[in-house]
């Protein structure tokens, strides 16, 4: 299964929010990998030899730093179960840009840039062309889950495609459940919002299957029940990879529902039969 990232070119990877002044260093990440059977450091730019310019008379000039290390950021390439991922924004370098988000999960208040600093975890360059595959995405989420478990100062995860910020405990719980064969984390890796006409529409499902889910009124009138239904449907849609033709399904209360792609195929509409 290949994930549709065409509308999310600027949303590669996920963002890790640490308490201000508590971002890990290279040494801390090395300690993390030493405690993990499935992760190791595959490339450390600080260990690479700098380039030297040679003048026309053969004299070697001062070394020149290249790459991200030269512009104030610190990063490492991590190997996780055979896949490489880049972790940017390590201390003592500059943090990554603080993200924007709209949907909160398991957080009492909106995280702010004044008390949190950002790292970015994303598929490595070696995965170019394959970064949109489900195995890579699961590897990314598994590594983020392991980092969350290891670092107590990691306060939350931001998933840009859904514009969501997820508390550490909730993320670790739902990610682990999914990776072990359970339900897809529809609350977190997608979100839901009410449209102007009263429908309940997913946010970020397009990233996974190329379509968004839309539960039509009056089925969407009870937003709690509609969200629960949406979570169940999202899980099934991620498993099958989307919807090409109309289908009939049974709701938890026993009523019959119709699922049908919209004319432009961008939405999967659901209503009572």
The residue ranges of every structural domain in the chain are 14-187, 192-272
Instruction: Provide the pLDDT for residue 127.
Output: 82
Q: Is the pLDDT of residue 265 over 60?
A: yes
Helix (H) or strand (E) holding 64: strand 60-64
Instruction: Provide the pLDDT for residue 62.
Output: 46
Instruction: Provide the pLDDT for residue 130.
Output: 78
Instruction: Provide the pLDDT for residue 54.
Output: 45
pLDDT in tens, 142-176: 999 999 999 999 999 999 999 999 999 999 999 99
Confidence of residue 128 (pLDDT cuts 50, 70, 90): confident
What is the rounded average pLDDT for all residues in the chain? Answer: 89
Instruction: Provide the pLDDT for residue 71.
Output: 55
Contacting residues for 140 by C-beta, under 8 A, at least 6 apart: 13, 14, 85, 121, 122, 123
Instruction: Provide the pLDDT for residue 11.
Output: 56
Q: Indicate the pTM of the whole model.
A: 0.87
Edge-to-edge, what's the strand order for the sheet holding 267-272?
191-194, 200-203, 212-215, 267-272, 256-261, 247-250
Instruction: Provide the pLDDT for residue 67.
Output: 42
Instruction: Provide the pLDDT for residue 109.
Output: 81
Q: Is the pLDDT of residue 99 over 90?
A: yes
Contacting residues for 39 by C-beta, under 8 A, at least 6 apart: 32, 33, 78, 79, 80, 143, 146
Q: Is the pLDDT of residue 58 over 70?
A: no
Q: Is the pLDDT of residue 66 over 50?
A: no
The answer to whether 119 touches 96, Cβ cutoff 8 Å, is: yes
Q: Which residue has the higher pLDDT, 17 or 55?
A: 17
Q: Is the pLDDT of residue 51 over 80?
A: no
pLDDT in tens, 198-237: 999 999 999 999 999 999 999 999 999 999 999 999 999 9
Specify which residues 270 forms β-bridges with. Answer: 215, 259
The answer to whether 36 touches 143, Cβ cutoff 8 Å, is: no
Instruction: Provide the pLDDT for residue 65.
Output: 40
């Amino acid at each position: 299964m290949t994930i549709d990232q065409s509308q999310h070119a600027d949303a590669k990877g996920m963002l890790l929010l640490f308490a201000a002044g508590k971002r890990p260093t290279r040494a801390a990440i090395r300690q993390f990998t030493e405690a993990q059977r499935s992760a190791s450091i595959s490339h450390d730019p600080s260990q690479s030899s700098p380039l030297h310019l040679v003048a026309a008379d053969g004299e070697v000039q001062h070394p020149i730093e290249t790459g991200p290390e030269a512009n104030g950021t610190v990063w490492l390439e991590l190997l996780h179960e055979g896949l490489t991922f880049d972790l940017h924004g390590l201390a003592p370098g500059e943090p990554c840009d603080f993200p924007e988000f709209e949907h909160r999960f398991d957080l009492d208040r909106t995280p702010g840039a004044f008390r949190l600093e950002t790292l970015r975890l994303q598929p490595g360059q070696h995965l170019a062309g394959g970064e949109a595959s489900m195995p890579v995405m699961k590897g990314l989420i598994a590594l983020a889950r392991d980092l969350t478990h290891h670092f107590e100062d990691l306060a939350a995860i931001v998933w840009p495609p859904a514009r969501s910020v997820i508390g550490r405990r909730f993320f670790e719980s739902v990610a682990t459940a999914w990776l072990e064969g359970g339900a897809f984390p529809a609350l977190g890796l997608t979100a839901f919002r009410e449209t102007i006409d009263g429908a309940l529409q997913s946010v970020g499902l397009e990233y996974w299957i190329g379509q968004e889910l839309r539960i039509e009124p009056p089925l969407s009138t009870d937003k709690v029940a509609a969200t629960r239904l949406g979570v169940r449907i999202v899980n099934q849609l991620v498993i099958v990879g989307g919807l090409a033709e109309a289908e009939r399904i049974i709701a938890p209360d026993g009523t019959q529902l119709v699922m049908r792609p919209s004319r432009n195929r961008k939405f999967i509409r659901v209503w009572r039969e």
